[in-house]
Amino acid sequence: MTPSSTTQKRQLFLDLRVGGLRLTIQRVPHGLITLVSALGGLAGGTAWFGR
């Protein structure tokens, strides 16, 4: 058995292809999702309560 045959293909989290552009994400970026959620909540709260 060769090493390449024993290696399983990793499941991709996201594989997006648009024209000549290809975006591949192999694992969930938990830190980035947390940061975007926190900033979005802060901006939404500021807009909501700042009126």
- Which strand (E) or helix (H) includes residue 29? none
List the structure tokens of 14.
């996201």
| Structural domain containing residue 45 | 3-49
- pLDDT score for 9: 67
Tell me how far apart the alpha carbons of residues 42 and 51 are, in angstroms, rounded to a whole number: 14
Q: Look at residue 4 in the predicted model and tell me its pLDDT.
A: 57
Cα 7 → chain centroid = 24
pTM: 0.56
User: Alpha carbon of 12 to those of 6, 8, 9: distances in Å?
Assistant: 18, 12, 9
* The total number of structural domains that make up the chain: 1
1-51: per-residue pLDDT in tens?
Answer: 555 554 556 788 899 999 999 999 999 999 999 999 999 999 999 999 987
